[in-house]
Amino acid sequence: MIDQVVILLGPPGSGKGTQATRLSAELGVPHVATGDMFRTQMEEGTDLGQRAGRYMDSGRLVPDELVTEMLFVRVDGEDCVEGYVLDGFPRNLSQAESLDQGLEGRWSSSVASLEVPDEVLVERIAGRLLCREDSNHIYHASFSPPKVEGVCDECGGELYRREDDNPEVVAERLYVYREQTAAVITHYAQDGRLEPVDGNQGPDEVYRALRSAVEGSDVEEGG
Ligand code: AMP
């Protein structure tokens, strides 16, 4: 039981998805990823998915009013009563302020930021493969390839590349990150909550660093 929200920040390709999946499994709380939620909506062809898709395909942020409500409905769910790991939210200052208000008085939170140089991000994104059956199953064509090409080791699902992982859209996503999401890092740094984590290491080393950053913010050992 953690009764705490872990906010995981970092640019596209920094390993947020991989690390959040592992942390949430260990802590026994849900991994709440706004990007995954939108991709599910897109696959299901919902109105929200279609509206969000226009922004996602070009690497821009989906407007706050579409994101924030979806997020708050999700974390209001029964399975989030003991905490959750947030991945991909907040992405700008206004979302950070909405989150602060939503958490105030009820939740403590810890904020970790994965730091990775741009050239490494580009390399990681260029080879990234996701499983259609479970977005938590993530591979890399060179660094952590599946045993059988195109097939998820864990569940046999088909592996695919994200539409927005192509080089032009990646350039826009990195630009958006610097223009809008970097302010979120400053926001948490200013109120003393930010725990920087060196994300330019192997996944196990990053996880160890993340775990101790989060423990330093009062998450109980062993979850
Ligand atoms: P991600 O899977 O976190 O890389 O997100 C993929 C895309 O979904 C982003 O490039 C945005 O277009 C959209 N998205 C995800 N989370 C947010 C958010 N909190 N605010 C705005 N757009 C978002």
Domain ranges of the chain: 4-116+181-215
How many A from CA of 221 to the centre of ligand 1?
Answer: 31
pLDDT band at 221, cuts 50/70/90?
very low
Upper half-sphere CA count for residue 185 (Cβ side, 13 Å): 17
Q: Is the pTM of this model over 0.85?
A: yes
Q: Which residues line ligand 1 (CB under 6 A)?
A: 12, 34-35, 38, 55-56, 59-62, 67, 88-89, 91, 95, 164, 173
Q: Which of 21, 163, 185 is nearest to 91 (CA)?
A: 185
pLDDT band at 4, cuts 50/70/90?
confident
State the alpha helices, DSSP H only, in the chain.
16-27, 34-44, 47-56, 64-75, 93-103, 118-126, 167-176, 182-190, 203-215
Is residue 2 pLDDT above 60, yes or no?
no
Q: Which of 111, 113, 115 is nearest to 103 (CA)?
A: 111
Give the H or E element holding residue 138: strand 138-140
How many A from CA of 66 to the centre of ligand 1?
Answer: 11
For 118, the token pair is 């741009």
Pocket test for ligand 1, best of 19, 55, 62, 125 (most atoms within 8 A of CB): 62
Q: Which residues are catalytic?
A: 16, 91, 128, 162, 173
How many A from CA of 26 to the centre of ligand 1?
Answer: 25
Each residue's pLDDT tens digit, 14-40: 999 999 999 999 999 999 999 999 999
Q: Which of 97, 111, 143 is nearest to 124 (CA)?
A: 143
Pick the CATH number of 4-116+181-215 from 3.30.200.210, 3.40.50.150, 3.10.180.10, 3.40.50.300: 3.40.50.300
Percent of the chain, pLDDT > 70?
Answer: 96
Residues 6+ apart with CB under 8 A from 61: 55, 67, 91, 92, 176, 180
Each residue's pLDDT tens digit, 151-210: 999 999 999 999 999 999 999 999 999 999 999 999 999 999 999 999 999 999 999 999
Residue 15: other Cβ atoms inside 10 A: 25
